[in-house]
Structure 1
Amino acid sequence: MKSSKICQMLEIDYPIFQGAMAWVAEEQLASAVSNAGGLGLIASGHAPKEIIKDKIDKARQLTDKTFGVNIMLMSPFVEDIVDLVIEERVKVITTGAGSPAKYMKRFKEVGIIVIPVVASVAQAKKMQREGADAVVVEGMEGGGHIGKSTTMTLVPQVVDAVSIPVIAAGGIGDGRGIAAAFMLGVEGVQLGTRFLVSKESIAHQNFKAKVLKAKDIDTVITGLITGHPVRGLRNRLTKTYEKAEREEGGKENPNFDRLEDLGKGALKRAVIDGDTKDSSMMSGQIAGLLTKENQTCSEIINELMIETETVLKENAKKWLN
């Protein structure tokens, strides 16, 4: 897998991306993943330019490997963040919540590798036409903001539809998942929840503990009625949110102000404050598979690579003999 197109393009050792989780994907996590041979990402979220500039500076002090910045295109500071990554000559960016088409020419002029996150075949094809170097295809199994299709069904359709490298995301947490993704034709994978519980993740220990204790059915999707669904662990907030979706105007006339108020600051309360009751504990369905605590990013990536190689070899013997 070291010879995958994405490894060669980004000059990384392993085709493993760290998910750009808001409040979690800071310089500590990004640099640790990059030092371990993957691609670490700093999530810009809704932060202003000066804060992200500081994170980039600190990441460069912590690693001399390739790392990237994720640009949230719905951020009120998006224009400033675009200026920043160009000024700083960040090697690679991923984008979410929209199309980076209007900025593509500027990115290309300074040699930035652009990898949008998409949730449909149509989006992937559009990004290829606009000049994207690769796409991250995210299935609804992932944590945080999600689309409508599953990773298993969406990834092969995108692989067949585009000629640029495809990175699979959503529901991948061990070597079996990585091997399955490569069998679907991808050049790399992106993991979020697995790195959320890593030693270098700044997520509060209360949050990490809830993820590690989660069972297969412990995540829930809220916000479908708003058009911006989010997957996270069940708690008092998700129950309150679901009740508000049902009762305050219903599907015909939803109370968007009420729903927005419930979500304000909810992720920060989980990640920074350690509130596990009235917070948004964004987590993928893969949480039910995760049990190992306090692993370093290096240990995680080494384990993933060993597991993947073992699965591929064992299954090759099984089916070819």
Structure 2
Amino acid sequence: MQKNRLCRLLNIEFPILQGGMAWVATGELAAAVSQSGGLGIIGAGHASADLIEKEINKVQNLTDKPFGVNIMLLSAYAEDIIQLVLDKDVPIVTTGAGNPGKYMEAFKEKGVKVIPVVASVALAKRLEKQGVDAIIAEGMESGGHIGDIATMVLIPQVVQAVKVPVIAAGGIADGRGMAAALALGAEAVQIGTRFICARECTAHQNYKEMVAKSKDRDTVVTGRSTGHPVRILKNKLFRLIEKLETENAPKEEIEKMGVGRLRAAAKEGDIVMGSVMAGQSAALVEKIEPAGDIVRQVMAQACEIMKNLNQVSKSCLGEKK
């Protein structure tokens, strides 16, 4: 696969981005993915600038390849993280939970590439007008906070609506998903859930094993009544939140139930009352393996599929002649 527009933009070898998962996407994982030719991304989440600076330092000590930081714009530390990114010469940022518009001038002055995560065509078009460099269109199959449009129909609509490169996310864990995304017009993919089970990922072993053992119906969506739905793996926390929603409990009570639960799962290994965020692609994840192996396997499988499709296409055209 020749370097496409997105690879040239980000100066990476392969069009694979690793999702910026809070408390999961640390410096160790980001460095391993970047070193393997993809784009590793540190997940800032609700962490303070001091904590994220340590993760940035890890990446810069482990690799000289490009990497990024995912900034959740609703975080109380968002502006501190943005200043940190500028000070530390981080080349790429991905953003979520907000509009990066008011920070675009500062990013552009430093040459930072800005790639927001969107779940709708309207938001993609608005952000393109504000000067973003690419767009991650994420379907509802993804883990964590989700939208309400599936990847299969979201990607071609966003591709049709904007001129900047589109990165497909949500439900992609292998080369089959990547080939499908490219066929829909995306120029790269973002993979999150499978990288939870990367050997370099510092998430707790309990979290990794729960992902690796999950089946097709094991992810569920919680918090719909709050307006901020989240996809996680079924456990006791899910059942308690489900009960609260069934009883029409106040939004504040439901949201309070989720506070700190992701960290409890990812760092402390609490898979009973922790929020084990994972996408529907968790059922495709079978083992814990090095991040570099994941990158290479995804690329090899995608290239083989596209080569076969190209041969089929040539055959069909030949028959028509």
TM category (shorter chain) comes to over 0.9
Structure-2 residue corresponding to 1:27: 27
Is the aligned partner of 1:290 residue 2:258?
no
- Cα distance, 1:210 vs. partner? 1.1
Q: Which sections of structure 1, spanning at least 5 residues, go unmatched?
A: none
Asked if 1 retains the 8 angstrom alpha-carbon contact of 2:212 and 2:288, the reply is no
- Cα distance, 1:319 vs. partner? 4.3
Asked if 2 retains the 8 angstrom alpha-carbon contact of 1:156 and 1:184, the reply is yes
Structure-2 residue corresponding to 1:204: 204
1 CA distance for matches of 2:176 and 2:252? 42
Q: Any residues of structure 2 matched to 1:93-172 within 5 Å, and which?
A: 93-172=93-172
**AA partner of residue 272 (structure 2):** K
2 CA distance for matches of 1:107 and 1:98? 16
Aligned residues: 315
- Cα distance, 1:261 vs. partner? 2.2
- Cα distance, 1:277 vs. partner? 1.0
**AA partner of residue 305 (structure 1):** M
What is the aligned-residue RMSD (CA, Å)? 1.0
Which 4+ residue blocks in structure 1 deviate beyond 4 angstroms? none
Find the residue that maps to 1:241 and give its secondary structure.
Answer: helix
Asked if 1 retains the 8 angstrom alpha-carbon contact of 2:46 and 2:75, the reply is yes
Find the residue that maps to 1:239 and give its secondary structure.
Answer: helix
Structure-2 residue corresponding to 1:11: 11
Structure-2 residue corresponding to 1:274: 269
2:308 maps to which of 300, 304, 314: 314
Q: Encode CA deviations 1:201-226: one digit per residue, 9 max, x unaligned.
A: 11111111111111111100001111
**AA partner of residue 13 (structure 2):** D
Q: Encode CA deviations 1:88-140: one digit per residue, 9 max, x unaligned.
A: 12101000001000100111011110000000000100110000000000000
Find the residue that maps to 1:137 and give its secondary structure.
Answer: strand
Find the residue that maps to 2:37 and give its secondary structure.
Answer: coil
**AA partner of residue 285 (structure 1):** Q
- Cα distance, 1:315 vs. partner? 2.5
2 CA distance for matches of 1:169 and 1:73? 19
Structure-1 residue corresponding to 2:242: 242
**AA partner of residue 312 (structure 1):** M
Asked if 2 retains the 8 angstrom alpha-carbon contact of 1:22 and 1:43, the reply is yes
Kindly, what percent of the aligned residue pairs are identical?
51
1 CA distance for matches of 2:223 and 2:193? 20
1 CA distance for matches of 2:209 and 2:24? 15
1 CA distance for matches of 2:41 and 2:55? 11
Find the residue that maps to 1:272 and give its secondary structure.
Answer: helix
Structure-2 residue corresponding to 1:40: 40
**AA partner of residue 302 (structure 1):** R
1 CA distance for matches of 2:83 and 2:270? 35
2 CA distance for matches of 1:257 and 1:181? 37
2 CA distance for matches of 1:243 and 1:134? 40
2 CA distance for matches of 1:209 and 1:81? 31
Find the residue that maps to 2:126 and give its secondary structure.
Answer: helix
Structure-1 residue corresponding to 2:318: none
Asked if 1 retains the 8 angstrom alpha-carbon contact of 2:226 and 2:255, the reply is no
**AA partner of residue 301 (structure 2):** E
2 CA distance for matches of 1:53 and 1:73? 17
* Larger displacement relative to structure 2 (309-318 or 153-162): 309-318
1 CA distance for matches of 2:159 and 2:255? 36
What is the TM-score when the length of structure 1 is the normalising length? 0.96
Q: Encode CA deviations 1:4-30: one digit per residue, 9 max, x unaligned.
A: 111101110000000010000100000
